[in-house]
Amino acid sequence: GDWLPGPARLFAALKATPPEQVRAVILGQDPYPTPGHANGLAFSVAPEVALPRSLRNIFTELRDDLGAAPATGDLSHWAQQGVLLLNTSLSVDPGAAGAHARWGWDRLARQAVTEAQKHGPLAFILWGGHAQKALAGLPRPQDLVIATAHPSPLSARRGFFGSRPFSRVNDWLAAQGRPPIDWTA
C-alpha cells in the first residue's frame, strides 16, 4: 500500500532542520496514520487539518505556559527555528499506527540527534516512555532534558499538563545567550 507521509515528505524533519541548526528535539513515535494528516514533522499537520488530540493538548499546555498557541497545527515554523520534530519511525501504513516500527528508523533518529549534538548543546523534549527509551544514553550534561508523560488524552494528566516545556527551553537558551524559540507564532 501507499505509505504515509509519502516519499516527498519522508525526510521533511531532517530537511527542515539540518543538524547545525538544531537547538531543540521533540521526538514523536510515528506519522499520523490518517491519510492527509502526516506532513513529515512530528505532531504537525497541514494548516487545513483539524488538530489531532495530542496536538490539541500540546497547544493547551502552550497557552497555559506562554499565553498563546499557533493558529494552525502546522509546526513548520518551529522546525525553521531549530526545533527538530522527528518521529522515531518515519513512515506508517494508512490506518496502522506502528506498522513500520521495526524497519530500523529508530537508528536514523539516534544518528540525527548525535550529528546535531556535534554543533552544541540541545534541549530534549521527550514526551512519553517511547521517546525517552528511544534516545536513552544520548543526552549529555550540557543538554537540557524535559521528560514527561505523553500529550495524548490517555496520559496528558499524568505529568504533561503543567510541565511548561516551552518556557523552560527558552529560559535554558537565554541562560546561554542564545535567542528564544517563538513557539506561539
Would you please indicate which residues are annotated as catalytic (active-site) residues? Answer: 30
Whether the CB-CB separation of 123 and 169 falls below 8 Å is answered with yes
CB-count burial class (<10 Å; 0-12, 13-18, 19+) for 136: exposed
C-alpha cell at 123: 534541549
- Cis bond before residue 5 (omega within 30° of 0): yes
Q: What's the full length of the chain, in residues?
A: 185
Whether the CB-CB separation of 113 and 23 falls below 8 Å is answered with no
